[in-house]
Structure 1
Amino acid sequence: MPSFSQLSALLLLPAAISAVTFDCKHIRAGGKDFNFEKLGGPKEVNYQQLTAPSITNTTFTIDVCKPLPRSKEKDKSKEECPTGTRVCGVERIYEDDQTLVREVIPIAGEYGTSNGRHLNAKVTRLKDSESNSDSEREGVRAELEGGLWEKKSQKAIIEFICDADWEGTEGFEDSKKMDVSSYGSMKKREDEEGDGDDEDDDNRELPDLDKGKALQFKSYKEEKDDTGVLRLEWKTKYACEDAADKPPSEGRKRGSWGFFTWFLIIVFLLAAAYIIFGSWLNYNRYGARGWDLLPHGDTIRDLPYIVKDLSSSMMDKLKGSGSRGGYSAV
Structure 2
Amino acid sequence: SPPTKKNTTYLISPCLPLPYDDNANEETKLNTCHNGTLICEITTYWNPRTNVSLITSVIPVAINSTNDNNEDNNQNPVVELGPKANADDIHGPLIITFYGDKVNDVQQKANITFICDHDKEDEKPETSYKENTLQIEWRTKYACGIFIVLALYLIIGTIYNYQVYRSQGWDLLPNRDFWRDVPYMASDLTKNLYNTVRGGGNSGYSRV
Check whether TM > 0.5. yes
* SS across alignment from 2:14: coil
Whether the 8 Å CA contact 1:117–1:146 is kept in 2: the answer is no
Inter-partner Cα distance in structure 2 for 1:259 and 1:77 = 48
Distance 1:135 1:258, change over 3 A: closer
Residue pair 2:70, 2:101 contacting (<8 A) in 1 also: no
Higher RCO, Cα 8 Å, sep 6+ = 1
Q: What is the alpha-carbon distance in structure 1 between the residues aligned to residue 88 and residue 20 of structure 2? A: 38
Matching residue of 2:76? 120
Q: Answer yes or no: is 1:81 the counterpart of 2:33.
A: yes
Instruction: Tell me the equivalent position of 2:139.
Output: 235
Q: What's the offset of the Cα at 1:63? A: 0.8
Match of 1:216 among 126, 130, 137: 126
> Could you tell me the percent identity over the aligned residues?
30
Separation of aligned partners in 2, 1:134 and 1:76: 50
- Under a length normalisation based on structure 2, what TM-score does the superposition of the two structures give? 0.60
Q: Give 1:178's aligned residue.
A: none
Determine whether 1:91 maps to 2:91. no
| AA at the equivalent of 2:111 | I
Q: Give, as a single letter, the amino acid of the residue that structure 2 aligns with 1:73.
A: A
1:15-37 Cα deviation digits (max 9, x unpaired): xxxxxxxxxxxxxxxxxxxxxxx
Distance 1:149 1:134, change over 3 A: farther
1:63 aligns with 2:13: yes
Aligned length: 153
Return the alpha-carbon distance in structure 2 between the equivalents of residues 135 and 122 of structure 1: 26
Alignment of 1:3-42 (within 5 A): none
Larger strand percent: 2
- Counterpart for residue 108 of structure 1: 62
Q: Per the alignment, do residues 242 and 77 of structure 1 end up closer, same or farther by CA in structure 2, a change over 3 Å counting?
A: same
Q: Which runs of 5+ in 1 are unaligned?
A: 1-50, 171-211, 223-227, 261-330
Unpaired runs of 5+ residues, structure 2, are 151-177, 188-208
> How far has the Cα of 1:121 moved from its partner?
1.8
1:158 CA drift (Å)? 0.8
Alpha-carbon distance in structure 2 between the residues aligned to 1:60 and 1:135? 34
In 1: Cα distance, 2:129 partner to 2:93 partner? 21
Q: Any idea what the Cα deviations from partners look like across 1:49-70, whole Å, max 9, x if unmatched?
A: xx52311111011111111111
**Would the alpha carbon gap of residues 82 and 164 (structure 1) be closer, same or farther in structure 2, given more than 3 Å must change?**
same
The aligned counterpart of 1:255 is: 182
Contact 2:100 2:108 in 1 (8 A): yes
Following TM superposition, by how much is the alpha carbon of 1:238 offset from its aligned partner in structure 2, in angstroms? 3.8
Name the structure 1 match of 2:194.
none
